[in-house]
Structure 1
Amino acid sequence: MTESQPTGRHLIAGQWVEGGEIFRSAPASGEPLTVWSGGRTEIDAAMRAAEEAFATYGWTAREDRALLLEAIAEEIEARGAALTAMGTAETGLPEARLNGECGRTTGQLRLFAEHIRKGDYLDRRHDAALPDRDPLPRPDLRVIQRPMGPVGVFGASNFPLAFSTAGGDTTAALAAGCPVVYKGHPAHPGTGEIVAQAIAAAIAKTGMPPGTFGFVQSNTTEAGEALVTHPLTRAVGFTGSFRGGKALFDLAMSRDEPIPFYGELGSINPVFVMPAALSARGEDIAKAWVGSLTMGVGQFCTNPGILILPAGSEADTFVAAARGALEAIPAQTMLTEGVAEGYRTAVAAAAGGATTLLRTDCSGREGAPALFEVSGSDWLAHPELAQEMFGPAGIVIRAESAAQVMEIARALDGQLSATIQMDPGDTEAAKPLMPVLERKAGRVVANGFPTGVEVADAMVHGGPFPASTSFGATSVGTLAIRRFLRPVCYQNIPADLLPADLRD
């Protein structure tokens, strides 16, 4: 097989194989690819290979896994031009965005390599034996975080690199010592396969078991359902829609042996503009909000879809500035025709419950900015307005009092992020908001916007349901490794039988 030339095949036990039905991709430009759509048979073969690999890979040294992650990064970079060309053609995303996302992908691989080298994530603890303790002796107790086993990962439509084949879920699982079976996203099968080629090359280069990573292409629900319900799957990482994620989460919970399902399902990411900030720099905040709202045609799970501000003349100035900035932004190509149609449906629904300030008709794969406004009372009376519009649309909520701002905050569902725009004079007004927003969101932002999630040790990309299915987890940053580990206690175990990282 020629490197960087997609074949439409699956990667199972280190071999590129055909299997299932055929489907044709639907790129934004260029020729479609002919792709094999795998199902239960392919998932079963890949998962069995992963279980076999775990017998070795789960007990590899941290340094060896770090070298694998770094080798994957190098192999991805070696295919950089091919990835950018394929990703742009398949998704319609601009070249600069794909190049930046490639850097983020390789950067997080290297970040996790350094993270596991340090070893802090293992949370090792040792209570030495106290044989003479009265009235009862204490045994020797040691605990360490150990990998769970094979992990299933779903690719995201809006991040063909950073949340896909070698994205954060795959990276965290491999760093933890868990083999991965990845279900490719049908919106970018060529991009996914090129990255899978890079991973396969890195596995061969570092001598890891071939089943350490499996890649199954599919454009049906069968493969996803099989991945979640397979008896060898120990955990699942998912980034996508609420509807799809909730269905898979329910499957994971209904198994004879339920497993962790780490679903990141999106949110509306509220922005609260406090009075002093609105008075001092309302127009600047409006333009910055529009920039965040329309970044990537609004196709980010952290898209700040609603903004709450005090009603009055300063709100009029803010809305005028936001509308003017949005009017200058043309319709743009979205990730798929399905995403574009879903966006237009959501915009039409919002128009039925809020005042339309800007709305442009478009069709096919195009998405155009939209802007709505609603009073705080009407927002609270119409909870259906709090649905995610996956695209460049926003709703301005005019709160009639500080008490109503708090009421709106308390009425919010779980969010990935919540933002406060404030000046020093707003500190007292913002204080009561913080305990509410802390309970509603995984990340609270001041004087910024939530798009642009930093990959770092202290990042949390997750939140209370329905933003994600596990409020105690993150899919970005090194804390993400904790999702694929479990604590194991060793009592009076001889040193030669302990994991190497737990020996004195």
Structure 2
Amino acid sequence: MNTAPILQGLSMLGRGLGESQAHGFHTRNPANGEVLPQRFYRAGAADVERAVALSVAAAPAYAALGGQLHGALLAAIAERLDALAEQLVAIVPLETGLPEARVRGELARTTGQLRMFATQARDGQWLDVRIDTPQALRQPLPRPDLRSMLQAIGPVAVFGASNFPLAFSVAGGDTASALAAGCPVVVKAHPAHPATSELVGSAIRDAVHALDLPEGVFSLLFDDGIGVGQALVRHPGIRAVGFTGSQRAGRALMDAAAARPEPIPVFAEMGSSNPFIVLPQALAQRAEQIADGLAASITQGNGQFCTCPGLILAVDGEGYDRLRNRLSSQLAQVPAAPMLTAGISSQFRDRVASMAEQPGVTYLQAASASGYRIGPALLETDADALLRQPGLAHEAFGPAALLVRCADTAQLLTVLDGLEGQLTATLHAESTELADCPDLPQRLAAKAGRVLFGGYPTGVEVCHAMVHGGPYPAASDSRSTSVGSAAMLRFARPVCYQNWPDSLLPPALQQANPLGLWRLVDGERQR
């Protein structure tokens, strides 16, 4: 298990390999533009068909194995990834430009969330068991025996993300939560880091094999375009989709899923500008401190985190000027760093340039460029200009932020109310200021899946209470989260059993409660 597999560049179809070698592609090192030697091959139509067929065949058996084995699989994957740490540290930076410390930290997060979901699967409480016992003498009609629980939705298509090659990719949160819920997974690897994807995929495949699980529990498909992904979403065997990426790509998947004869849910996390709001008293008391924290948050991961603050709303005045000047000065000192891909770099440059060309927008700090490296950008406008051009508030994925000067708190709230759905919204204020706008917390909550008081939004804690999602277009379904233990709920559906013999019920619903679960029985929580 400590020996890294030899990369073959072929899709993984259960325990077998893809056969299509009609189209090969290479990746580049984003730090220097060097073409990497390993060739990868786009999955053909037959490969997609085989992967989904294996997944469909595996779905009933894998779901029926129960939480203990689902948890054992996740723990085994985590163990194998830990054993591949040095190989990952060698490969991931070549494909992403990310430093070793970031890779090790992201690997720890990836294995940590695998183990968290393993615990959740084994515990079984997430199944939300509800039992209403029969009432034979109830009038005017008897009540039957009714028992419900969450059950796996079926095969899930997962799309690897560009900005987290481990934590939101082949063995990332979507895959981990789907496997924990009892769903087989077919992953479409991101074309920016296929070697990383193959290495991680081999760990999952080996874990499935070692536990003698159905081979269709996991498959991995390569593609440097959009054809394989579209084919996956349209395939009738796929029952749900997990995606992290751009709004344009996420929307395309949503439309494809909705156009199917039998539509399926797409759980897409599509980024946001993450508004950062500073009220006057907070500005007056700690403008420089807030600016320092903002500069670090904007540029963390060179701005390529979906929670980096890209829109700063502050009230005009002496504190505003101190915030603006300090933030501009701090960003000017941040060196240029590699973007993850040439496409992300190009889109970032175009987006920032387009913002700067709009009426009422000026540069405070222009983005520097050095070869494949990009530095941070800071632009400024006022609330009137933003209200006339709401598109200015859209995300610039990278190390950039738009500072918005508001005439007063009332105008700031008008801007806030006009924003689209967000992943996060952050408020810096003194408690005395909130007396004048007591509904501000709820107004923030109406816009975002995670609202922060103080602090900075960049980064997501993997835990039970975390919500990484939000109203559209931050996410496709504001009722779900892609991070935290509640992510499992995306890939399950409630099923009710009426008047079934006890011996034929799933163990979680049986009268003797062999799994020892807390269950809602006749409206009361009991074991």
Where 2:479 maps in the other structure, the secondary structure is coil
CA apart distance, 1:206: 1.5
Matched residues in 2 for 1:362 and 1:328: separation?
A: 14
Q: How does 1:199-214 map to 2 (within 5 A)?
A: 199-214=204-219
Q: How does 1:57-76 map to 2 (within 5 A)?
A: 57-76=62-81
Matched-pair contact (CA < 8 Å) for 1:65–1:177: yes
CA apart distance, 1:324: 0.8
TM-score by length of 2: 0.94
Aligned match for 1:302, one of 274, 298, 307: 307
User: 2:493 maps to what in 1?
Assistant: 486
CA apart distance, 1:435: 1.6
Aligned match for 2:475, one of 452, 468, 473: 468
User: 1:17 maps to what in 2?
Assistant: 18
Count residues with an aligned counterpart. 504
User: 1:41 maps to what in 2?
Assistant: 46
Matched-pair contact (CA < 8 Å) for 1:274–1:430: no
User: 2:144 maps to what in 1?
Assistant: 139
Question: What letter matches 1:24 in structure 2?
Answer: H
Question: What letter matches 1:15 in structure 2?
Answer: G
Matched residues in 1 for 2:132 and 2:13: separation?
A: 43
CA apart distance, 1:17: 3.1
CA apart distance, 1:61: 1.9
* Cα deviation digits, residues 89-143 of structure 1 (max 9, x gap): 1000111001000000000000011112222211100011111222211110000
CA apart distance, 1:346: 0.7
Matched-pair contact (CA < 8 Å) for 2:19–2:47: no
User: 1:290 maps to what in 2?
Assistant: 295
Question: Which has the larger displacement, 454-463 or 2-11?
Answer: 2-11
User: 1:442 maps to what in 2?
Assistant: 449
Question: Which has the larger displacement, 355-364 or 156-165?
Answer: 355-364
Q: How does 1:258-269 map to 2 (within 5 A)?
A: 258-269=263-274
Question: Which has the larger displacement, 331-340 or 35-44?
Answer: 35-44
Matched residues in 2 for 1:177 and 1:111: separation?
A: 15
User: 1:275 maps to what in 2?
Assistant: 280
Question: What letter matches 1:26 in structure 2?
Answer: R
Question: What letter matches 2:310 in structure 1?
Answer: G
Where 1:271 maps in the other structure, the secondary structure is strand
Matched residues in 2 for 1:151 and 1:137: separation?
A: 40
User: 2:106 maps to what in 1?
Assistant: 101
User: 1:3 maps to what in 2?
Assistant: 4
* Cα deviation digits, residues 370-408 of structure 1 (max 9, x gap): 111111111111112112111101111111011101101
Matched residues in 2 for 1:356 and 1:430: separation?
A: 32
Question: What letter matches 1:51 in structure 2?
Answer: V
Where 2:80 maps in the other structure, the secondary structure is helix
Aligned match for 1:255, one of 260, 277, 286: 260
Are 1:397 and 2:404 an aligned pair? yes
CA apart distance, 1:430: 5.2
Q: How does 1:376-395 map to 2 (within 5 A)?
A: 376-395=383-402
Matched-pair contact (CA < 8 Å) for 2:280–2:319: no
* Cα deviation digits, residues 5-60 of structure 1 (max 9, x gap): 32211110211333242111222366332001114321111010001111210111
Question: What letter matches 1:371 in structure 2?
Answer: L
Matched-pair contact (CA < 8 Å) for 2:18–2:43: no
Are 1:419 and 2:419 an aligned pair? no
CA apart distance, 1:186: 0.5
The alignment's C-alpha RMSD in Å is: 1.4
Where 1:346 maps in the other structure, the secondary structure is helix
Question: What letter matches 1:342 in structure 2?
Answer: Q
Matched residues in 2 for 1:5 and 1:454: separation?
A: 34
CA apart distance, 1:452: 1.4
Question: Which has the larger displacement, 324-333 or 356-365?
Answer: 356-365
Question: What letter matches 1:210 in structure 2?
Answer: E
User: 1:503 maps to what in 2?
Assistant: 510
Matched-pair contact (CA < 8 Å) for 2:297–2:309: yes
Aligned match for 2:241, one of 220, 230, 236: 236
Matched residues in 2 for 1:83 and 1:431: separation?
A: 49
CA apart distance, 1:314: 1.4
Evaluate the alpha carbon distance shift between residue 429 and residue 341 of structure 1 in structure 2; reply closer, same or farther with a 3 A threshold: farther
User: 1:337 maps to what in 2?
Assistant: 342
* Cα deviation digits, residues 154-175 of structure 1 (max 9, x gap): 0000000000000000000000
Question: What letter matches 1:27 in structure 2?
Answer: N
Q: Percent identity?
A: 45
Are 1:163 and 2:168 an aligned pair? yes
Matched residues in 2 for 1:41 and 1:228: separation?
A: 15
CA apart distance, 1:86: 0.7
Aligned match for 1:225, one of 224, 230, 243: 230
Matched-pair contact (CA < 8 Å) for 1:409–1:433: no
Matched residues in 1 for 2:223 and 2:507: separation?
A: 39
Where 1:178 maps in the other structure, the secondary structure is coil
Question: Which has the larger displacement, 457-466 or 349-358?
Answer: 349-358
Matched residues in 1 for 2:92 and 2:119: separation?
A: 28
**Where does structure 1 lack aligned partners over 5 or more consecutive residues?**
none
CA apart distance, 1:365: 2.8
Matched residues in 1 for 2:436 and 2:28: separation?
A: 50
Where 2:210 maps in the other structure, the secondary structure is helix
Where 2:64 maps in the other structure, the secondary structure is coil
Where 1:59 maps in the other structure, the secondary structure is helix
Matched residues in 2 for 1:12 and 1:44: separation?
A: 10
Where 1:58 maps in the other structure, the secondary structure is helix
Q: How does 1:184-199 map to 2 (within 5 A)?
A: 184-199=189-204
CA apart distance, 1:364: 4.9
Where 2:90 maps in the other structure, the secondary structure is helix
Matched-pair contact (CA < 8 Å) for 2:187–2:220: yes
* Cα deviation digits, residues 219-239 of structure 1 (max 9, x gap): 111100011000000000000
Evaluate the alpha carbon distance shift between residue 188 and residue 138 of structure 1 in structure 2; reply closer, same or farther with a 3 A threshold: same
